[in-house]
A and B are shown apart, each in its own frame.
Chain A
Amino acid sequence: MAEPMLQVKNLSVEFHTAAGTVRAVKNVSFDLDRGETLAILGESGSGKSVSSSAIMDLIDMPPGRITSGQIIFEGRDLLKLSASERRKVNGHKIAMIFQDPLSHLNPVYTVGWQIVETMTAHGMSRPQARAEALRLLGRVGIPDPEGSMGKYPHQFSGGQRQRLMIAMALALKPDLLIADEPTTALDVTVQAEVLALLEELQQETGMGVLIITHDLGVVAEIADRVVVMNAGEVVETGDTRQVYRNPAHPYTRKLIGAAPGKGAMHDPLPSAEPVLSVRGARKVYGDFAAVEDVSFDLMAGETLAIVGESGSGKSTVAKMLLRLEEPTGGQALWKGQDLFAMPERQLFALRRDLQMVFQDPTQSLNPRMTVWQLITEGWVIHPGILPRSKWKARAAELLHQVGLKPEMAGRYPHQFSGGQRQRIAIARALALEPELIICDEAVSALDVSVQAQVIELLDGLRKSLGIAFIFIAHDLPVVRDFADHVMVMRKGRVVEAGTVRQIFDNPRQPYTQALLAAGLDPDPDVQAERRAARLAMAAG
């Protein structure tokens, strides 16, 4: 058998930091052939991106250093090539697309110019390059290719930008395409389209695709084979289906087990009095209605999930309830008092009842405050909650409750991992003894295994303390195991609302159905079925 197109052998990469040498990648080996899709699966810090950056020569040296290994591409060791030879390979033979297309497209040039530039830089004549760019834009599904050539990156949506990036990457007909988390920043429905496009293009051109992701669903959808990485090491390699069915390594088992959407669904009791009832909430920015006529009830101790894609107005609803945004109209009755009409002074007393956990704990915790200061701040603001003499004991108890050690109170947020930081944010919210916690994408920024732990923690708190939750998410599976009621939003309006069972088992609205269908299941077989169904639907 012929040599595979790309072979990575015993690759090790070190980074020299002030805290000592970090071995980011240890003896990693994998190979990839033409027409094949290989996924590197791993959580943050697993070294998956570093491995692919080494192929593209994107590691900053120093502080990085490749200490051992070979990267053999079409029979040549890339690590031994000179810089100018390397440039001929990069872009020409190996292309890359990134997670955030906006930051990788130059905002001051038109997209047409940028695509043409890529081709002329490698020796194509301008008219020829222009014709080719037009063809590519049409191929990746950009509407009106002729007109789009003259537009700037910000005039496109997130999904379209990723298509543009793909067009640019394909401009030189590479043999290998590296995609680093290509769909992570996209909505589920758009994600499915982009992945489908990648697959089609691969079949057309016969290139190899190396996809780097943290999402089992993406792996199940697109990859032939998968390499699972953890802490810089390859823990498992194999056929996607086989790895999913018979994971050999405990870490892989843990990862697969942590995938949301498999547990039992909640069956909420038909309860009597809602603690919060929102009627006709509205928020208008100029001529644009971000939220239009949203109404719902929330019972004590229950979880309401608000699900929607970006721009659906779900976060605006949360911000209105907390009056971080001033509502334009409607009512929100919290135990009989209208939150929307309340003067600031009266609102202050209610603040401690309604708390919020934000998406990104790195940003929602003040980096200059210790855990102790963060947790006790609520008690400083609301002096009535707890006498100062009891602060220490209560703070320790809270930290314990969220699974952290009280000794950690003197540390700063940056000394914790992402999941731990979110726990600090939850402890801070709990310190005020709230009756309702609004979680705005509270687990979206976390790794899958950490996500599962945080959700478990929140669900435990709901049961033991009787706190009601409003859980805002863009992802349906996350909500499935946790919510009692689900409300699906789109373009500022409620599309469908019901108990979790109604929504997942009998979605009535086409949009809800589409959202469910677009979600990626970690099981490759389920995913293959869905894809077949989708293709059948598309074929009519």
Chain B
Amino acid sequence: MTSIDIIPDEPKPLVRFARMLWADKFALAAVLFLTLVLVLAVIGPTWLGEVAQKQNLRGRNAPPFEWERGWLWILGADALGRPLLARIVVATQNTMMVAGGAVFFSALIGTVLGLVAGYAGPRTGQAIMRLADVIMSFPSLLLAVVVLYILGPSILNLVIVLAITRIPVYLRTARAEVLEVRERMFVQAARVMGASPRRIVFRHILPVVLPTLMTIATLDFAFVMLAESSLSFLGIGIQPPEITWGLMISQGRQYLTTAWWLSFWPGLAIILTTLSLNLLSGWMRIALDPTQRWRLEMRGRRNG
């Protein structure tokens, strides 16, 4: 047999994913928007840092869409006459660091603990679950207030506190899914083959559980941003002159009836970011699932 050793190499995944992303225009827009957010998070403070802090009392609560002040004032100005657009751009960095950091760490720790709790023996599982119960039995805001009061407010402490309070969400979801997936036949097949528990958990179970967790994480993103703003409102979160989107919303609250744009624009930024993340996670759920992938590949072919 001459044809016997032809096993084709797998197609380059990068090209494949790019094609699938092109097929889903919503996901593509989401990726572009998130890239913009990331770029602004990196360059924002050095680029517009000064403008965003400069007060201009003659332009207090300047309404949006007035071209004569220059493009930075296009979204209006806040109660101290600082341009909103510049402030949103500058706030991106802090917001992303707090929300991204908190979501990332809570998802990471929660998922790992959840996988262990689901796959390990009942004793370890019970111990981890009771830990989650302890965290959940405190109102998360109260816990944050107490901890931040003791440790003092800083971005790092804020991330730690928010991450800890959100761990149970991932932990419980991951554990529940693992308990179901571990009974599936292919996990048994892997055990028969002699696969180590670590291999089974990360290679066979995690890929099945991951899409659910990712969807939760994107939804949690918005929650964490708003939780951070309520902490800032209580005076234990990010403190002015540092700014975040959440803080901007709460600062604009007292002017809601007279100058809606103070809270509206940062709110829109939060919504668009969360929406983009959500669209992206929806796309990833399909793109990473071989049985679903054809939906994207088919569409790409028809469009191209």
Contacts and interface: CB of A to CB of B under 8 A. Distances in A.
Interface of A: 18-19, 322, 324, 347-348, 351-352, 354-356, 358-360, 363-368, 370, 372, 377-378, 381-382, 392-393, 395-397, 400, 406-407, 409-410, 412, 414, 425, 428, 432
Nearest to B6: A406
B50 interface: no
Nearest to B298: A18
Contacts, number: 98
Contact of A366 (B5, B204, B294, B298): B204
B186 A406 contact: no
Given A363-B186, A396-B5, A406-B7, 16 more contacts: A351-B194, A364-B185, A366-B189, A367-B186, A377-B190, A378-B193, A381-B196, A393-B4, A396-B6, A396-B7, A407-B7, A409-B7, A410-B8, A410-B10, A410-B11, A425-B189
A381 B192 contact: no
Nearest to A355: B192
B82 to A, nearest CB: 50
B193 A364 contact: no
A351 B192 contact: yes
A87 B69 CA distance: 71
Contact of B199 (A356, A381, A400, A428): A381
A325 B7 CA distance: 37
Nearest to B1: A400
Contacts of B291: 367, 412, 414
DSSP majority for the B interface? helix
Interface of B: 1, 3-8, 10-11, 184-186, 188-196, 199, 204, 207-208, 288-291, 294-295, 298
Contacts of B298: 18-19
Nearest to A363: B185
A26 to B, nearest CB: 25
A21 to B, nearest CB: 14
A377 B10 CA distance: 16
Nearest to A368: B207
Contacts of A347: 194
B199 A364 contact: no
Q: Identify the interface centre among B6, B194, B195: most chain A CB within 10 Å of its CB.
A: B194
Q: Identify the interface centre among B4, B186, B195, B295: most chain A CB within 10 Å of its CB.
A: B186
B118 to A, nearest CB: 17
Contacts of A368: 207-208, 288-290
A428 B190 CA distance: 10
A354 B189 CA distance: 12
A260 B91 CA distance: 73
Contacts of B193: 351-352, 355, 377-378, 381, 428, 432
Contacts of B8: 407, 409-410
A348 B194 contact: yes
